[in-house]
Chain A
Amino acid sequence: MKLARFVLFLVGLVAGGPLLAPTARAQALDRAGLIGNLCGNASAMGEAAAVLTGLAMSGDAADRAFAVPLARAVIDRKLACDEAGAVLTESGLDAVTRAPRPAAGEARTPVLSLKNRATYELADAALALRAAPEPAQRAAALKTLERRPALIPEGLLDAAAASETDAGLKADIETLAQTAALNAADPAARIRALARIADTPSRRALTKVSALTTDPAYAASPDFRAAVDDATLRIERGIAIGDVLATLYNGLSFASILFMAAIGLAIIFGLMGVINLAQGELIMIGAYVTWLVQQGLRVAAPSLLDWYLVLAIPVAFFVTAAIGIALEASLLRHLYKRPLMSLLATWAVSLFLMNLVRVVFGTQNLQFETPFYVTGGVPVIGDFIFTWNRMFAIAFAIVTLALTWGLVRRTPFGLNIRAVTQNRDMAACIGIPTRRVDMMAFGLGSGLAGLAGLALSPIYSVNPQMGQNFIIDAFMVVVLGGVGTIAGTVVAALGIGQINVLIEPLWGAVAAKVIVLLMIIAFLQWRPEGLFAVKGRRK
């Protein structure tokens, strides 16, 4: 390790050495030296980052303009170090002279150590805040700085606020400057900072504020003490609200996944009494169809690529529905009188589909684009972060629920399904084509599984085995909810999701699974027909 560092150091010397000649302007930026350090070892790179951050605060405008692309280039690995210094590979300019030249000889791209990565992100944000031409870029830089208020060099925000031309951004910078003044000398500034910090409560803020109770000013100044206590109270309240919201949100998100996996199964099981073990594989196929749509769009209409998740909805539904209908017509139709056989047959289908996909696509996880609407999250309050991919699944589940409900309750087809579910023989007697209803309902159930696959693709890894993860959970929901009722499926999914999320932080994820299973077993002992039973459905 020492040797490697030494070699790196030598490389740095060779790269920067000849240019490190004494300069007449002692205070002026040694540009070549800075570039030499950027190409140097970890500690030289750390020094260079400090110089860059310093430039953001106090350097002259020309030097700052010189420095702006450097930190970003190192972070993005767009800096090629060679014998003559370094080249910014994106623009093809020499890092020192900014004259176009190609990288000479064996160019090397410096790798940021974890520690330096943070300092370079800080330097980049600081420079961008001072010198980026677009207000949007400066606002983004401010967001980065906000993440680590403790590291912001003193004076940077004041200087940035003074030179900022955008009024809104200027106010934001001043707010952040007030937050950063928690450890300033001026007591009024500190009290203002406390109020600002309490505006965005989080555990980190609480740690910071509660550390102030040991501050000498806490004992000395009643004003300061009141401010600290008030801030602590507000932050604690914010965290408590955030925790409740986070638990609800996590529970809802898990419930939406369970619901999506179970709803198709509930319809099929409820209507025909067929235990469809291939349901998980239909979910998997839905995800694969989504991927195929994405690949198709990549070729046919790249501009619509971001919307593949939406465009794939009908495709995923109809492809899996068609598979379901084919399955029913060719296989299950002949096995209605033999439920055990249908169980085995669907299991065989499940193995067949899984291996078919494995042979055709391979076992690796599929690569999905992540469009902006399923990327990242928004901090709301306390430690609650609203993640968009989960929100997508929740919204998707709600829309699916509404449509399924509408279909079953408000259409003639739904009426037929309900009639056959309640009493097959009587329904047949009054002229409902029960076989046809069976086939269509099986198609509907399969199509819903396909949609589940689509909704899960931004959350989980998509591979041939993914379906197996859901089948047990889905059965749990269906059985608990009461066979064949939509309301039961919803309530059971919400219940299991929420209970899981509540137990997990207390006893761990392994125990949560066990406890939930035990609770379901106990519940079914007491109420074997599940939460909502259709009266008189079965003998």
Chain B
Amino acid sequence: MVNITRRSLLQASGLAAVGLASPLSAPAFLRNAQAQSGPVKLGCLFSSSGTMANLEGRLNYVVKMAADEINAKGGVNGRTIDVLVSDPASDWPLYAQSAKQMLQQEKVSALFGCWTSVSRKTVLPVVEQENGLLYYPLHFEGDENSKNVVYVNSPPASSVLPAVDYLMGEEGVSAKRFFMLGSDYVWPRTINKQLKGYWKSKGIPESAWKEEYVPFGFSNFQTLVNQIRAFADEGGGQPVVVLTVVGNSIPDFMREFANQGILATDIPVLGLDMVEADLEGLDTAKLVGHLNCWAYLQNAKGPANEAFLKNWAAYVKAKNVPFSGTVSIDPMVSAYDSVHLWAMAAAKAGSFDVPEVSKAFAGLTFDCPSGYKISMTGENNYVARGVFIGSVNDAQGFDILWQSKDTPKPVPFSPYG
């Protein structure tokens, strides 16, 4: 029932868009026999409902904003961009179904989507079979390199490991013991596997860590926080929590953590999926000092970020977007980068065909709002990004505690797991 509604909606919106645009379009720019005139279509695979809605939902609007920016400058290859939105409802198989529909029926030139790795894994066979192109804006567990996916955000080697190194270092807290708490799916499990391999390679004994998983959407963290306290009190060096729970489990965990009176100076939490949006609705005065690591933080310095924040605030106001105009998170910026990277590749290739566009990746650079010049090589579909370590402040944001000097070369396959 739901499918039919969504499909018919999608078709209707697609038809409406084509219908509206075609009378206006200039003489057809027919680059090859298949190309149609009118706007070129991009598809979004971000949920507007379900447990991921609060985070993924805003990415739809960022993609549209980036497309508007490009359209204002005359579009790509003489054609304007039209963004199609779907709602996979935080239901992993639906992502694949939406992707198939977008690629087969709507003939989108590129897809932008997925937050959780499990949704990317379901979309992967579809884009490979249809030879589509998926831009994935989240930092993730690596160990994957498909020619049909552009990994816009960092693999663990250039996000998680620098952060863990920081915590273990002199400037951090000289962390010796690690409590890994994650949602039960591929990203936390792979990250934790790689971390364990990394610690083993540093000669840290197995007794120094503990691993726990909770179901998706889990919110009753009382017992787990008790376990963390017991783990910390065993002694043997500074403990830290490596948190890989996702969605609404993050604020619920942090609330319980603070309520049991644990401060960042007792046991710091490294929230690998924690963004500014997760702190909305929390009293962060008691959470000050907890950490996250991303390729962008809202407090990043530089004109590119100022411009991005201003544009986003203006866009939210103008289009009445149901998300905060004052909060900007890494995946938003990564989605924004994605659209620009795609447009640059398409312009460079002079085509919207996936093989042509993919060939144009080598040597692309873009001034990311993070302040770094991000770049792609021909070696793989990874994007070299900067690294930030943020520290929660009492204004529900993150202060930049540390940032990398430049953009480390992404390492797709981890040697540690």
B160 CB to nearest chain A CB (Å)? 17
A120→B405 CA distance, assembly (Å): 27
User: Which residues of chain A from 389 to 413 have a CB within 8 Å of any chain B CB?
Assistant: 389-390
**Do residues B54 and A114 form an inter-chain contact, with CB atoms below 8 A?**
no
A510→B220 CA distance, assembly (Å): 12
The residue in B215, B226, B232, B256 that gathers the most chain A C-beta atoms within 10 A of its C-beta is B226
How many residues of A sit at the interface, in one of the four size bands? 35 or more
**Do residues A207 and B405 form an inter-chain contact, with CB atoms below 8 A?**
no
Bits for A244-263, please: 1 = Cβ < 8 Å to B, else 0. 00100010011001000000
Q: Which of A358-366, A429-437, A444-452 contacts B (4 or more CB under 8 A)?
A: A358-366
Using Cβ atoms and an 8 Å threshold, which residues of chain B touch A354? 49
- A535 adjacent to chain B (CB < 8 Å): no
A464→B54 CA distance, assembly (Å): 10
A285→B109 CA distance, assembly (Å): 41
A401 CB to nearest chain B CB (Å)? 20
**Do residues A364 and B259 form an inter-chain contact, with CB atoms below 8 A?**
no
- B283 adjacent to chain A (CB < 8 Å): yes
- B411 adjacent to chain A (CB < 8 Å): no
**Do residues B235 and A211 form an inter-chain contact, with CB atoms below 8 A?**
yes
A437 CB to nearest chain B CB (Å)? 34
Specify which of B54, B167, B234, B401 is in contact with A463 (CB 8 Å cutoff): B54
- B144 adjacent to chain A (CB < 8 Å): no
B135 CB to nearest chain A CB (Å)? 23
- B214 adjacent to chain A (CB < 8 Å): yes
Using Cβ atoms and an 8 Å threshold, which residues of chain A touch B53? 358, 363, 464-465
**Do residues B230 and A114 form an inter-chain contact, with CB atoms below 8 A?**
no
Specify which of A114, A204, A257, A466 is in contact with B220 (CB 8 Å cutoff): A257
The residue in A114, A354, A459, A504 that gathers the most chain B C-beta atoms within 10 A of its C-beta is A114
User: Which residues of chain A from 198 to 212 have a CB within 8 Å of any chain B CB?
Assistant: 202-204, 206-208, 211
A292 CB to nearest chain B CB (Å)? 15
**Do residues B323 and A1 form an inter-chain contact, with CB atoms below 8 A?**
no
- B205 adjacent to chain A (CB < 8 Å): no
Known: A202-B233, A365-B251. A505 touches B261 (CB 8 A): no
**Do residues A115 and B215 form an inter-chain contact, with CB atoms below 8 A?**
no
A3→B404 CA distance, assembly (Å): 10
Known: A203-B234, A509-B213. A2 touches B405 (CB 8 A): yes
**Do residues A117 and B260 form an inter-chain contact, with CB atoms below 8 A?**
no
**Do residues B281 and A365 form an inter-chain contact, with CB atoms below 8 A?**
yes
- B255 adjacent to chain A (CB < 8 Å): yes
Supply 21 A–B pairs (Cβ within 8 Å), ascending by A.
A2-B405, A42-B171, A111-B391, A117-B265, A147-B266, A204-B235, A250-B222, A250-B226, A257-B220, A363-B53, A364-B54, A366-B281, A390-B222, A459-B255, A460-B252, A461-B251, A462-B281, A465-B50, A469-B219, A505-B227, A513-B215
Name A's B-contacting residues (CB within 8 A).
1-4, 42, 77, 111-115, 117-118, 121, 147, 202-204, 206-208, 211, 246, 250, 253-254, 257, 354-355, 358-359, 362-368, 370, 375-377, 379, 383, 385, 387-390, 459-466, 469, 500-501, 504-505, 508-510, 513
Kindly list the 4 A-B residue pairs having the minimum CB-CB distance in the complex, ordered from nearest: A203-B233, A207-B235, A365-B281, A362-B322
Known: A203-B230, A465-B51. 19 other contacts (CB 8 A): A111-B400, A115-B171, A202-B233, A203-B233, A203-B234, A208-B235, A211-B235, A363-B48, A363-B49, A364-B277, A364-B281, A367-B281, A376-B261, A379-B261, A388-B259, A460-B252, A462-B281, A465-B49, A509-B214
